[in-house]
Protein backbone atom coordinates (compact mmCIF):
# COMPACT_ATOMS: atom_id res chain seq x y z
CA UNK A 1 0.00 0.00 0.00
CA UNK A 2 1.25 3.45 -0.90
CA UNK A 3 1.88 5.77 2.03
CA UNK A 4 0.26 9.14 1.35
CA UNK A 5 1.77 12.42 2.46
CA UNK A 6 0.61 16.04 2.45
CA UNK A 7 1.88 16.62 -1.11
CA UNK A 8 -0.11 13.78 -2.70
CA UNK A 9 -3.32 14.74 -4.51
CA UNK A 10 -6.74 13.62 -3.42
CA UNK A 11 -8.20 11.49 -6.20
CA UNK A 12 -11.96 12.00 -5.82
CA UNK A 13 -14.72 14.43 -4.96
CA UNK A 14 -14.97 18.18 -5.01
CA UNK A 15 -11.32 18.61 -3.96
CA UNK A 16 -9.98 16.18 -6.57
CA UNK A 17 -6.46 17.11 -7.67
CA UNK A 18 -5.69 19.30 -4.63
CA UNK A 19 -2.79 18.39 -2.37
CA UNK A 20 -4.01 16.55 0.72
CA UNK A 21 -2.61 19.41 2.82
CA UNK A 22 -5.01 21.81 1.03
CA UNK A 23 -8.15 19.78 1.77
CA UNK A 24 -10.12 21.06 4.80
CA UNK A 25 -10.52 18.90 7.89
CA UNK A 26 -14.31 18.96 7.40
CA UNK A 27 -13.96 17.08 4.11
CA UNK A 28 -11.81 14.36 5.67
CA UNK A 29 -14.33 14.18 8.53
CA UNK A 30 -17.13 13.62 6.03
CA UNK A 31 -15.12 10.85 4.36
CA UNK A 32 -14.23 9.29 7.73
CA UNK A 33 -17.76 9.29 9.18
CA UNK A 34 -20.10 9.09 6.19
CA UNK A 35 -18.49 6.80 3.60
CA UNK A 36 -17.30 3.21 3.35
CA UNK A 37 -13.66 4.38 3.72
CA UNK A 38 -12.82 2.85 0.38
CA UNK A 39 -9.15 3.91 0.25
CA UNK A 40 -6.83 2.09 2.68
CA UNK A 41 -4.02 4.56 1.95
CA UNK A 42 -6.27 7.56 2.66
CA UNK A 43 -7.59 5.87 5.81
CA UNK A 44 -4.04 5.60 7.15
CA UNK A 45 -3.27 9.19 6.17
CA UNK A 46 -6.32 10.42 8.07
CA UNK A 47 -5.47 8.32 11.15
CA UNK A 48 -2.01 9.91 11.26
CA UNK A 49 -3.47 13.41 10.80
CA UNK A 50 -6.42 13.27 13.24
CA UNK A 51 -4.58 15.32 15.92
CA UNK A 52 -3.91 18.09 13.38
CA UNK A 53 -7.50 17.95 12.12
CA UNK A 54 -8.73 18.26 15.72
CA UNK A 55 -6.55 21.36 16.12
CA UNK A 56 -7.93 22.80 12.86
CA UNK A 57 -11.53 22.18 13.88
CA UNK A 58 -12.04 21.09 17.51
CA UNK A 59 -15.80 20.80 17.04
CA UNK A 60 -15.46 17.69 14.85
CA UNK A 61 -15.72 14.32 16.60
CA UNK A 62 -13.35 11.65 15.30
CA UNK A 63 -13.69 7.95 16.12
CA UNK A 64 -11.25 5.32 15.07
User: Could you read off the pLDDT of 1-53 as tens digits, one per residue?
Assistant: 899 999 999 999 999 999 999 999 999 999 999 888 999 999 999 999 999 99
Q: So what's the pLDDT on residue 17?
A: 98
CA distance linking residue 58 with residue 3, whole number of Å: 26
pTM: 0.88
* pLDDT on residue 13: 93
Residue 63's pLDDT is what? 80
Question: DSSP letters of 10-61?
Answer: P-SSTTTTSBGGGS-HHHHHHHHHHS----HHHHHHHHHHHHHHHHH-TT--
Amino acid sequence: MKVLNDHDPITFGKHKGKKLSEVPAEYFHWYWTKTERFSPALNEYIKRRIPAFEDENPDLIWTI
